[in-house]
Amino acid sequence: MVAGDTLGEIATRYGVSVEALVAANGLLDPNQLEVGQVLVIPSAALPDQADDPGLTAADTTVVRARPGDTLAAIAARYGQPLETLTSLNALGDSARLFPGQPLLLPRAAATAGALRFGAVQAVQVPDLLRQGRTGRVVVQTKRPLELRGLWNDLPIHFTPLPDDPLRQWAYLPVPALIAPSSYWFTLSYTAANGLALHQTWPVAVGEGGYLSEILALPPDRGALLDPALIQAELEKVVAAWSPVTPQLLWTHPFSRPVGLEYETTSPFGTRRSYDGGPISDYHAGQDFGAPEGVPIVSPGDGVVVLAEPLTVRGNAVIVDYGLGVYAGFWHLSEIDVTPGQTVKTGDRLGLVGNTGLSTGAHLHWELRIYGVAVDPMQFVEEPLAYVP
């Protein structure tokens, strides 16, 4: 978006309906747009090449404009005549592009262009992620490289595959409250000649589909919402889950920390109101309804970094699973591990309880990646430690 743009003008410019723009970007109020806001243009807005006898759909592919791109810059990047891009996309050679704008390119040129990043041969970046979910980026290189990544300004950390040091990957965690839009992943490394190289890719973030709930706190627990108490405890847990162990400590999908017989009572991402107040927060973990005394086990291999009573979270355990992945287990009645202890999948961490800011006996299981709270059940349902 630039000053003066309206949704109607953008829809007309790219030949799509206002409704399609609203749906693609998850806009709650189409009249509330900001200068600099990135909008996703539905693929239907791409030019139709069916009437071009020289190109078929199989001959073309879609690339996305980077920040500051022009058609001339994209043509140079992929070694194509400027006229090819203007013809394929029905745009003038001085057309203004927005970051993430989809553009048609001859497929052969796009394949060759993907290799124009020094010693980086290929980069696999997800096209779409959902609020509160976790994706991965995979990078193939010609020689060992120390890769650096920024995901929406958050530093991310790469690790090589055990059997292929030229293939590295990293997690892309998505905050649960981030606005649906396009965000940027930047990959960089230092070339052998000392030159810093980088490229940027857009990743669309869509709605997570989370519900809301009202929590009624017991009279003796309301004082735990004191901002001073919350902030002091937050500083302690943030310090515990901030270091990044350079390698992943587990390889299989997580198991559940309690048995299958204990159902979810409040899923991750639920928007929350306390005692009927405004919805101003969200549930950063997964709650399992289980009676006091039920064993809690580690869902994977890791190292305990915190095990102590806390004011808001009650008796708490935090385990480091490597590569920036940490899990927190709150409200325990008993803690059975100590900081520095190595745990394996299925090892007992403690017992379910009702301590801290809790409305009844349950386990709150929280997963953090680089400090970002994400849905822990995705790590049970998907092999996120495996790179195909």
In a domain, 77, yes or no: no
pLDDT of residue 338: 98
pLDDT of residue 353: 98
In a domain, 89, yes or no: no
In a domain, 101, yes or no: no
Q: The tokens 């539905």 sit on which residue? A: 42
Write the CB contacts of 257 (distance below 8 Å, at least 6 apart in sequence): 288, 296, 297, 298, 299, 327, 329, 349, 363, 365
Residue with the bigger pLDDT between 89 and 151: it is: 151
Structurally, how many domains does the chain consist of? Answer: 3
Q: What is the pLDDT of residues 176-214, one digit of tens each?
A: 989 998 888 999 999 988 989 988 888 889 989 887 776
Q: What is the pLDDT of residues 128-185, one digit of tens each?
A: 899 999 999 999 999 999 999 999 999 999 999 888 999 999 999 999 989 998 888 9
pLDDT of residue 53: 43
Q: What CATH number is given to the structural domain containing 151?
A: 2.60.40.10
Same domain, 265 and 375: yes
Q: In terms of residue numbers, what domain contains 246? A: 224-381
Same domain, 283 and 250: yes
Average pLDDT over every residue of 41-54: 47
In a domain, 72, yes or no: no
In a domain, 322, yes or no: yes
Q: What CATH number is given to the structural domain containing 359?
A: 2.70.70.10
In a domain, 52, yes or no: no
In a domain, 214, yes or no: no
pLDDT at 321 over 70: yes
Same domain, 143 and 179: yes
pLDDT at 111 over 70: no
pLDDT of residue 45: 47
Write the CB contacts of 108 (distance below 8 Å, at least 6 apart in sequence): none
pLDDT of residue 343: 98
Q: What is the pLDDT of residues 335-382, one digit of tens each?
A: 999 999 999 999 999 999 999 988 899 999 999 999 999 999 999 999
Same domain, 235 and 272: yes
Same domain, 162 and 237: no
Same domain, 187 and 240: no
Same domain, 124 and 239: no
pLDDT of residue 302: 98
Average pLDDT over every residue of 19-25: 63
pLDDT at 274 over 80: no
Same domain, 309 and 242: yes
Q: At what angle do helices 7-14 and 18-25 cross, to 10 degrees?
A: 100
Same domain, 159 and 292: no
Same domain, 197 and 336: no
Write the CB contacts of 89 (distance below 8 Å, at least 6 apart in sequence): 46, 47, 71, 103, 104
In a domain, 306, yes or no: yes
pTM, two decimals, is 0.72
pLDDT of residue 29: 61
Instruction: Tell me how far apart the alpha carbons of residues 143 and 157 are, in angstroms, rounded to a whole number.
Output: 18
Write the CB contacts of 354 (distance below 8 Å, at least 6 apart in sequence): 292, 314, 331, 333, 360, 361, 362
Same domain, 354 and 241: yes
| Least confident interval from 30-34, 135-139, 243-247, 349-353 | 30-34
pLDDT of residue 115: 45
Q: Say what percent of the chain tops pLDDT 70.
A: 77
Residue with the bigger pLDDT between 85 and 372: it is: 372
| Least confident interval from 197-211, 221-235, 258-272 | 221-235
